Structure 1
């Protein structure tokens, strides 16, 4: 896919105002994208035109230089109006923000990628949710590089994608099963998007499967190698930076459901049952919002490592559970009217269920936390 030429960055930019404008714009067609299970392509054009695609690139590298907390806030704002746009954008944003953090704090050689994102307005697509520590697919050594065969599920935003940031497993004759990390252009030979995203919620994210059939990746394009299945320092960094951004979308969805429900409830006569439900709704949302705020603060101030990952992943569990509970209670507070699609609450209820499925899911998070608490090896 061809990338749109980048807009010149205005300094300073009122990112909060830009986020509010984008949220209002994408909200207008959110129900249509949901009803038709249609990718939010027009909203990606808005993100590109606004400068948000390159917002997390440091200003020194040609980007917007947005601060992390503000980026989380914008994703949350968008989520109140269109969960699909917020979640898909968060998948691009976390890749850029992680690369920027590594360049800033670890002097990692990610500046080439970041400069390209800024100069070419490139959209990055992650396959990390389906790969995680074990990865998937095979890398076969050939002259000058590797032949990749894989099928990557949950590739959010892939219909608008320029680069797939992915991995595959190489059976290294000396080191054993080794995960190779690399980027593949969507226009590369052997890359295809499969029409698989027919789902309950977040139906506009375009999270289709991406198939890689005999895709050649040169040796020079391999950006990292790690043992399969074990926690690697890279994944502590990804956990720290990515998940507060991703869960910003779910907090936004929950917030939108809460606001809609309370607006509907205020038009009804108050009674003890309604008052109690409204209080329970507020408590669930406060818990989600507070846990998420702790995740953001950790990402802003901590350094990657097992303890930081534990804090982030515990926050991910608490935020997700209470965002889901907020949407459930919004249905009850609004009453029967919430059952109608026109209210938007049932869409929020379906969208927020996606919070269950990102790593580390409940059992894996509890295992990680328990091992750390008992002084055991986190790799088991």
Structure 2
């Protein structure tokens, strides 16, 4: 069994807050405080550095359990764990350049992901944000980032931007970290979505946010890269996203089973769990979901073990993310179909999961990007 940090009582407490946060469009301050107190922010930090020492595979299971209680909390905390996952990925491969992040995560600092930009389908391969050198090895960042989860709570923000001034003929993408108390940014109060509301993934306007030289992690030429930093971001991001949506699907299936056992047919006088059509739908959802966890365990286990798949990890993790999110949408839909019209009310947990699970289609890699990645792995690049 994977190591567990989150006990059942804590998850019940967090589940009890989820509907209220969704209704009020609030941030999960209390959840975050409880997760910090439980040592969850340092889940992937090695034990000798003050953390719990979980690997990516173990954390994927914990994130799924958290998502089953409160999807938006899990999604936002995911972005913190991605950065810890990157630092751990490098640390395990002999690169100590991000050990500072592991130490800060263990101490309770909250990390967020300031990479997404409207209309930027290059994702990690390009940026519309300007990275302006400060003359001392650091940079200031100027641009607009969307979907910045943990907006009210982060203390450290990972950002990237394009430096096209140092060497105009050879621009580089700059990956760095800025601090909340360093200023140079504005967080807009623009998060009013149909689902994942407690994540408060607001727009962040960078206007001079400064990263000193020791917080500039990489300068990399635009385009595809096998730099371990990029590999760490991509694999951690995709794997942990897959786990969150797998957790939503697990919970939806659990609720469906509970519901059909309680509902009784006026036609037959029997519970709906005895209806062949209902049973087929529940089984169909379970069959789809049963294929996801073995994939998560295999790929995450390989990453933990340092198995070198090279560029093949892009295909493996992008495909897994798409399969997990699409499967989760299917499972939630089937759960709603067997559970009846009560799920159409906002008070229904399944109704909330139906709205939350939709967010999966927007995270990178999206369906188109994943297909492009797989096609390139099989057929080579477009000419």
TM more than 0.5: yes
Q: Counterpart in 1 of 2:235?
A: 240
Q: Distance in 2 between matches of 1:224 and 1:17?
A: 32
CA contact (8 A) 1:127 1:155 kept: yes
Relative to structure 1, the CA distance from residue 291 to residue 321 in structure 2 (aligned partners, 3 Å threshold; closer, same or farther) is: farther
Q: Counterpart in 2 of 1:370?
A: 375
Q: 1:283 aligns with which of 280, 287, 303?
A: 287
Deviations 1:276-314 (A, max 9, x none): 212222122223334433433343343362112211111
Relative to structure 1, the CA distance from residue 67 to residue 214 in structure 2 (aligned partners, 3 Å threshold; closer, same or farther) is: closer
Structure 1 residue 98 displacement after superposition = 1.6
Name the SS for the 1:187 alignment partner.
Answer: helix
CA contact (8 A) 2:246 2:324 kept: yes
Structure 1 residue 19 displacement after superposition = 4.2
The runs of 5 or more residues in structure 1 that have no matched partner are 1-13
Q: Distance in 2 between matches of 1:313 and 1:290?
A: 16
Q: Counterpart in 2 of 1:321?
A: 326
CA contact (8 A) 1:151 1:212 kept: yes
Q: 2:135 aligns with which of 135, 143, 148?
A: 143
Structure 1 residue 64 displacement after superposition = 2.0
- The reply on whether 1:92 has 2:80 as its aligned counterpart is yes
Q: Counterpart in 1 of 2:275?
A: 271
Q: Distance in 2 between matches of 1:237 and 1:303?
A: 12
Q: Counterpart in 1 of 2:126?
A: 134
Structure 1 residue 67 displacement after superposition = 2.9
Q: Distance in 1 between matches of 2:158 and 2:135?
A: 22
Q: Counterpart in 2 of 1:7?
A: none
Q: Distance in 2 between matches of 1:292 and 1:21?
A: 26
Q: Distance in 1 between matches of 2:127 and 2:108?
A: 27
Q: Counterpart in 1 of 2:207?
A: 213
Deviates more, 1:77-86 or 1:259-268: 259-268
Q: Counterpart in 1 of 2:268?
A: none
The runs of 5 or more residues in structure 2 that have no matched partner are 118-122, 265-270
Deviates more, 1:109-118 or 1:77-86: 109-118
Structure 1 residue 334 displacement after superposition = 0.7
Structure 1 residue 15 displacement after superposition = 5.0
Q: 1:109 aligns with which of 76, 97, 107?
A: 97
Name the SS for the 1:165 alignment partner.
Answer: strand
Structure 1 residue 224 displacement after superposition = 0.6
Name the SS for the 1:121 alignment partner.
Answer: coil
Structure 1 length normalisation: TM-score? 0.90
CA contact (8 A) 1:20 1:77 kept: no
Q: Distance in 2 between matches of 1:77 and 1:339?
A: 24
- The reply on whether 1:259 has 2:254 as its aligned counterpart is yes
- The reply on whether 1:159 has 2:164 as its aligned counterpart is no
Relative to structure 1, the CA distance from residue 326 to residue 59 in structure 2 (aligned partners, 3 Å threshold; closer, same or farther) is: same
What root-mean-square deviation, in Å, do the aligned CA atoms of Structure 1 and Structure 2 show? 2.0
Pairs within 5 Å for 1:1-380: 15-16=3-4, 18-118=6-106, 120-130=107-117, 131-144=123-136, 145-171=138-164, 172-173=166-167, 175-233=169-227, 234-267=229-262, 268=264, 269=271, 270-301=274-305, 302-303=307-308, 305-374=310-379, 376-377=380-381
Q: Distance in 1 between matches of 2:213 and 2:293?
A: 44
Q: Distance in 2 between matches of 1:110 and 1:220?
A: 10
